[in-house]
Every structure is written in structure tokens, then in C-alpha cells.
Amino acid sequence: MAQSGRIPILNQRQRLLVVSNRLPVTVTKQEDQWIIQPGSGGLITALAPVLRDRGGLWCGWSGATIESAAPVESLLHGQEGRTGFRLQPVQLSERELKNFYFGFANETLWPLFHDLLGRARFEQGYWEAYLAANRRYNEVLTPGDFPEITWVHDYHLIPLGAMLRAHGREGRIGFFLHIPFPPLDLFKRLPWRKELLNHFLAYDLVGFQTRRDYTNFMNCVREMLPELPITSAPWHAMIHTTTRLVHVHSFPISIDFQEFNTLAKSLPVQETAALLRGQYPNQKIILGLDRLDYTKGIIPRFRAFRECLRLFPELHSRVVLLQVIIPSRIEVPEYQQMKRELEQLLAQINGEFSRPGWVPIHYFYRSLDRQELAAWYRAADICLVTPIKDGMNLVCKEYCACSPDGGVLILSEFAGAAEQLKEGALLVNPFDLEGVANTIGRACTMSREEQFRRMTTLRNHLRRNNVYIWVEHFVEQLLEPLEI
């Protein structure tokens, strides 16, 4: 870990409680047997060593509903010896899961915060379920549980801080929003806008991914809560409420650069990448890798690629788009419909341009394990990351960490990562299909020298700003807020 960044230094008595929607492990049933599966992702990678070092506690939903009768407590108790820290499960019913998680969290906040007002549903029952589910999280955390430092994560749990305060929890409580925060004119559409905004102000520190999100939030506070005094400095503010000083800042999340870089250079990954490249000889490999979600801009990406093939017929048989779709929320009808539309468009494009020995788009609907993921990144000449709105997007950062020999990153200007990676990436507007098409054409003909120069810039940034630095920055500021 010394190469990746140091663990935040906490006072020996100041232990950390992390609360997120899900635990870092998941309880699932396979062939009539309940098992524990480890979670993945940058948040787990970054926070697990901190909790392990201080004997901390992670609270979240286990993945099993109350109706499933899963032996959650006993399964997790046996897992704590492996994780090195305590796991506190939250039990949710199927009804709560439907109205809280699939309802308010993902049919109200998710589309609204991603600037997709037309997809947002504003139902009183959803809001009530959201508060009720947050009370569930609050109830399993007694005031004596690690009162010094609490770090709450993401849009599912915005009200939790105020509930923890009312429940008697002392110590410092921080909150980090992993998704974008919407501009004022959109946030005002939320019927419970003031209630939600006041829930943010129950924390000692509120963190956002980007300056854009920080600015949007502060604009909402100034407009809707004009009575609150605010002390400001560049990209940092202190809101004076009647009970506390709330510090607000941006903390762009990152990845474990060293882990991905080392994995990409390993012999098994290089061999797998070579085999993958061998399937598409003499072709530039463009990689798209996304969770199935309408915010990722996959359908506009396919249309832009079709436009590229129309504008640059010389690329026919010389370029291939490999699109990996990771299944997500497959039980939601809207996502099922999106998958059908995507596959219909795919068939139209391949039907228009395919010729013997060449199919322009290859589509993979599955997850990749970590080694496979690194190999696909390593094999790709170009990574096409074009969300219509994203809090950060770590795919683009992982691709750069796995590309020591160069490569081209095409990145949506509406991804949070664009704020950090604009010096090396080719930024595009995903709504401008011809603009994206021309950028793909440029990437396909970019010289090796320019590729390497741009990728070196990107990799150096990620090396300096890894996920451990992100954790350290947030926790240290939570403990000792920056004075203005």
C-alpha cells in the first residue's frame, strides 16, 4: 500500500464508521445454499484498509430481504475474521426495497440528479419509504457504536445524518455524494427540496465529486435557505446553521492506480490481451464498457459510431467497437426496454455495414472479473466513455491505468472525470453525434507520439491522485475542517 498512498492517520481512539447502501460483501443464494460474496469497487478498496487498521465498522444492506429468511447475522459474523472489521447488516423488506431503492432512490433522485427530469417520478409514497428505510439504518446503530467519526455515502442515505444526531450520536459526521448534484432549476422541481437540503446540513462535512456539483449545491442553499450565513473561499464554503458549521468541498474520487497498473503489466493479462487483439487483426479496437443505464449514453454512442462509419468509409474493416454491457437492475421494465432498443440499433448498424470478415460492433452482455477487465483495457486502442451525465466515471481512469503503452481516451465533457482529465483526453459532447464521429476518426489516425504524450499526462495525474489520497483528504478535513 505504500506505493498507492498512505492510510489516513486517525487518533488511536477515533475509529471510523462507514455507512453505505450496501455492505462490502453480499449475501446470495446458490442452489439452496446461502453464501457470502465479496463486493468490488474503488470505495471498498479504499476504505477496507482504513477500517481494518482501526477496527472499524461498516453498516449497509446485506443484499437479502427479510422475506428470504437468510441467516445474515451468522454468515456475516463468520466473515468478519476475513474482512478485519465489523459488519453491521440492515434488514430491508421487499416492499421497502421496491419503494426506497427502486422507488425514491432510483426513480426519483437518480434521474433528477442526472438532469433527466422526464424520467423522474415524484410520489409521496416513495418519499415516505425513503425516510423509513433511512430510519432502518439509524435503528441498527446504537449511540455507543463508534461515536467518534461517521462517514455516510451517497444519495440513498442523505437523511441519515440528521437521524443519527437525533438518536444521540456524537462526534463528527461526514457525507459524500457519489453522483452529480443538479442545478438549481432542476433541484427546485423536487417536492421535498427543502427537507432534503436541510438533511445535507446535518453533517459536519459535505463532499461532492466536482466543482460543478459543489457550485450547484451552494446555489441551491443560497436560493432556498437565504437566511443562513455563508463564508466562502475558492471552491470551499462554510454554512452557518443554528447548530453547527457545515463545511462543503469537492473531493474527486479516484482509483488504486498502482493496482491496475501492476495488473495490466502482469503476464496473464498481457497474454489475454494479445489473444483478444488477435481476434481482430489489423483493426483498431474501440472499447465501450458500461453498466446498463440510460445515463451512460450507450444508444447515442452507437449512433455516433454509425455516423463515423458513414463519414469515414476508409475505416471500414479497419476499426471495431467492442461494447461490454454489465447487467444492472434487470428486473426494472425501463432497463429491459433500453436493452431491447440497444440491441435493435446494434442489428441495424451491423446490417448496414457488415461485410465478409468484418462486423463493426461486437456486443457482450456480461460482467468481467478483474483480470479480464484489465486485459480488455490493455487490448483497446481507444476507450469511448460518453455518458450524458456522470458523477465521476471510473472506467476512464481504469483504462488509463491499464494503458502503459499509450491509447486514446475519448471522454464526455459531462462526466465528472472531465474536470481532471481534460489535458490528456479528447473531450466530446455526447449529444453532438457528428462531433463524436469526427473525434473517433481523429483518434483512429492519431500518431503514436501524440497518443503516448496524452496518455502519459493522464497516467501521471492518476498516479498522483489515487483513491487513497481521496480517502485521506476527506477524513483529514472531516477531523480538522479547513478554516476560511
What are the catalytic residues? 178, 390
Read off φ and ψ for residue 240, nearest 5 degrees: -95, 100
Minimal CA–CA distance to 64: which of 86, 46, 37?
37
Task: Measure Cα distances from 329 to 294, 405, 439, 476 in Å.
Answer: 11, 36, 32, 35
Query: CB neighbours of 322 closer than 8 A, spacing ≥ 6?
Result: 285, 286, 287, 288, 362, 364, 376, 380
The residues, ordered by sequence, that sit 6+ positions from 271 with a Cβ below 8 Å of its Cβ are none
Q: Is 88 exposed, middle or buried (0-12, 13-18, 19+ CB in 10 A)?
A: buried
**Angle value at C-alpha 394, between 86 and 377, nearest 5 degrees:** 115
Cα separation, 252 vs 417, whole angstroms: 8
- Which three-class secondary structure string do you get for 315-329? HCCCEEEEEEEECCC
- Integer distance in angstroms from the first to the last C-alpha of the chain? 33
Spatial CB neighbours of 219, under 8 Å, sequence gap ≥ 6:
183, 184
**Cβ atoms of residues 172 and 204 within 8 Å:** yes
What distance in Å separates the CA atoms of residue 430 and residue 436, rounded to the nearest whole number? 7
Look up residue 377 and give its DSSP letter.
H
* Among 69, 86, 97, residue whose Cα is nearest residue 141: 86
Residues, the chain: 484
Q: Do the bridges between strand 25-30 and strand 33-38 make them parallel or antiparallel, or are there none, so unpaired? A: antiparallel
| Residues sharing a CB contact under 8 Å with residue 443, sequence separation 6 or more, in sequence order | 286, 382, 408, 410, 426
For residues 345 and 303, the answer to whether their CB atoms sit within 8 Å is: yes
Torsion angle (degrees, nearest 10) of CA 194, 195, 196, 202: 110
CA distances from 7 to 49, 198, 220, 477 (A): 7, 32, 34, 14
